[in-house]
Amino acid sequence: MINVATKNRIKDKLFEYWGVISTLIGVVLLVVFMTDIFMEGISRIDATFFTNSPSGLKPETSGIFPALLGTLWILILTASISIPLGVGAGIYLEEYSKKNWVSSLLEINISNLAGVPSIIYGLLGLEVFVRIMGLGKSVVAGALTLSLLVLPIVIVATREAIKSVPNSIKQAAYGLGATKWQTIWTQVLPSSIGGILTGVILALSRAIGETAPLIVVGAAAYIYDAPDGLLSEYTVIPMQIYTWMPDAREAMKVNAAAGIIVLLMITLVMNGFAVYLRNRWQKKVKW
Amino acid sequence: MKITKKLASIVFAGFLLSSCGGGNAKLDAQEDGTQPADSAKELTGKIRIDGSSTVFPISGGIAELFRGEEPKVKVIVNKSGSGSGFKMFSSREIEVSDASRPIKAKEVKKCKEAGVEYLQLEVAYDGLAVLVNKENTWADSLSSADLKKLWEPAAEGVVKTWADIREGWPTEEIALFGPGTASGTFDYFTEAIVGESGAIRSDYSPSEDDDVLVQGIAGDENAIGFFGLAYYEANKDKLKLVAVNGVKPNMETVKTGTYAPLSRPLFIYVSKQSTVKPEVASFVRFYLKNAGGVAKTVGYVPLPASDYEESLKKFEDFTTSK
């Protein structure tokens, strides 16, 4: 007979193994995927891959220059649109808005928006930014569309970060005669900035991997030049990969894999930066 | 190896074309066989192209070559499909529309309503060849129905031997070869034969590399497969070409459309409103002069050189007429 203690110990072990296996599956799949991509694409990565434009006639000389610059444009524009709006909305909802049915309705909607498929944002962007506002298939129309896509994430991250600031700090500030604005600016934001930035960076690294909404709002399949202004046509790395993929020629497959490596590197650096910021601010903030 | 062959073919096609046209050609542009653009002064501006993803490789290739001629003209090519291309064309969002089918009545009406006067220009042919092993003595001709019976998803596990297609043919197991699902050739074949894009039996040997398909079919007496007609031309001696619905594909039958349903013309559409701009007009001329070479490089059947000449004339008439 197995007694209860042994039974529980077995259960405990099984639970542990289940956790280990779950973790491993994710890691193993990632490693397999990465090795595959690296073996295929690493040979194409050299200086010319970053400085050349794509070529359908000479695939081996293809590069991602316009796509890389396009991604940077999109990244900077999306950040400068979504951060002020998202953080502003987050502060308002957390600090100013009264808790009534309107604010709960807003809250539910924002959380729901975070789960809307990205292509829907593309369709919205096509109608509103490309057609009605007449921005055309421009880099700014793409950035506005992606800003909408990441806004809910930025808002939620901001609110969570602000929530973690202890009430006692705020009360102390008020007690010393600070206004609401002074309290937010000198106490709340500095201590929650780490959390806000982490959320923002994660949201942005999602944005630069997006293809679907940008296809809809008109990122180009073939373009030779990098964007030279807000209204310039553009393409981005995921779009370039998407264009190379269906090409049956071997050299194009290699290009696509090399493009994936570059995109992975960019997201890795961004996510690494997010982790760094979080750690730095966690150490700095002492309550 | 493959690449040098392809490059050689552009140079060759360019040579052919240059022998009958372009007296005022810029000499320095001839090195790679590219036909020069025709303007003396440097052009600027933007040319937006959208439409069929089948035509995309040709338009993209032309855009690339044009850049060498007119570096200040920005050519942007997209591939959202023939239908979507015509929509943007009629609403003047783009200058050139790529299409793998002629414009539909509904789309013509839209162009009329918007006052868009257009010209249709053939730029190449998309053709598929059905091939068997050289030792195959029975399959000379297959009908569309035969091909459907063999390739449709329902054939999987049912149509296994040649005798299953037609009685009296060998009871040997058929080995099937074809391009992978990612290629336009695959989409086209399934659409034209099975009737639904992407629908195919799953027990065939797919490869994106045409060489693998050639070797596969050449190495098995009971093999059958399909790929781009242009690629067959390069491997004529290794495989046996099958007539489809009694017609063998060649320049003539593809051009006249009698080799059906496995060949189709590819078009670009240009509008009067956009060809008023010198950079667009120059681009279209450049397109027609170089389409043959680029079409070959990216795996399509070029038109006879005289057809491009004729299209050029048609285009000049179109731009000068009121």
Q: Looking at the structure, do residues A143 and A36 belong to the same domain, yes or no?
A: no
Contact B210, B171 (CB under 8 A): no
What's the distance, CA B75 to chain centroid?
A: 21
Q: Looking at the structure, do residues A135 and A223 belong to the same domain, yes or no?
A: yes
Q: What CATH number did the domain enclosing A260 receive? A: 1.10.3720.10
Q: At what angle do helices A118-125 and A139-163 cross, to 10 degrees?
A: 130
User: Residues in chain A, how many?
Assistant: 287
Task: Residue B234: give the domain boundaries.
Answer: 127-263
Task: Residue A277: give the domain boundaries.
Answer: 49-284
Q: Looking at the structure, do residues A105 and A162 belong to the same domain, yes or no?
A: yes
Q: Looking at the structure, do residues B247 and B133 belong to the same domain, yes or no?
A: yes
Closest residue by Cα to residue B152 from B127, B189, B183, B207: B189
Q: What is the pLDDT of residue B32?
A: 54
Instruction: Give the domain-ending residue among B263, B283, B299.
Output: B263
Closest residue by Cα to residue A220 from A118, A139, A143: A139
Number of domains in chain A: 2
This model's pTM is above 0.80: no
Instruction: Give the domain-ending residue among B242, B263, B284.
Output: B263
Per-residue pLDDT tens over the stretch B127-142: 899 999 999 999 999 9
Is the pLDDT reported for residue B17 higher than 90?
A: no
pLDDT by position in tens, chain A (length 287): 678 889 999 999 999 999 999 999 999 999 999 999 999 999 999 999 999 999 989 989 999 999 999 999 999 999 999 999 999 999 999 989 888 898 889 889 988 888 899 999 999 999 999 999 999 999 999 999 999 999 999 999 999 999 989 999 999 999 999 999 999 999 999 889 888 999 999 999 989 989 899 999 989 999 999 999 999 999 999 999 998 987 777 888 899 999 999 999 999 999 999 889 888 877 766 65
Q: Looking at the structure, do residues A40 and A64 belong to the same domain, yes or no?
A: no
Task: Establish if A56 touches chain B: CB-CB under 8 angstroms.
Answer: yes
Using a CB-CB cut-off of 8 Å, the residues of chain A touching B63 are 222, 224
Interchain proximity B77–A225, CB inside 8 Å? no
Q: Looking at the structure, do residues B156 and B184 belong to the same domain, yes or no?
A: yes
Number of domains in chain B: 2
Closest residue by Cα to residue B50 from B78, B28, B86: B78
Per-residue pLDDT tens over the stretch B293-312: 999 888 888 998 999 999 99
Q: Looking at the structure, do residues A38 and A59 belong to the same domain, yes or no?
A: no
Q: Looking at the structure, do residues B52 and B140 belong to the same domain, yes or no?
A: no
List residues of chain B with CB under 8 Å from any CB of chain A.
3, 10, 46, 48, 53, 56-57, 59-61, 63-65, 67, 74-80, 93, 179-180, 182-185, 208-210, 294, 297-298
Using a CB-CB cut-off of 8 Å, the residues of chain B touching A220 are 76-78
Instruction: Give the domain-ending residue among B222, B240, B263.
Output: B263
Q: What CATH number did the domain enclosing B284 receive? A: 3.40.190.10
Q: Looking at the structure, do residues B78 and B117 belong to the same domain, yes or no?
A: yes
Is the pLDDT reported for residue B316 higher than 80?
A: yes
d(CA B162, CA B222): 8
Q: Looking at the structure, do residues B225 and B258 belong to the same domain, yes or no?
A: yes
Q: Looking at the structure, do residues B33 and B49 belong to the same domain, yes or no?
A: yes
Q: What is the ipTM of this complex?
A: 0.80
Q: Looking at the structure, do residues A257 and A134 belong to the same domain, yes or no?
A: yes
Q: Looking at the structure, do residues A20 and A143 belong to the same domain, yes or no?
A: no
Q: Looking at the structure, do residues B301 and B255 belong to the same domain, yes or no?
A: no
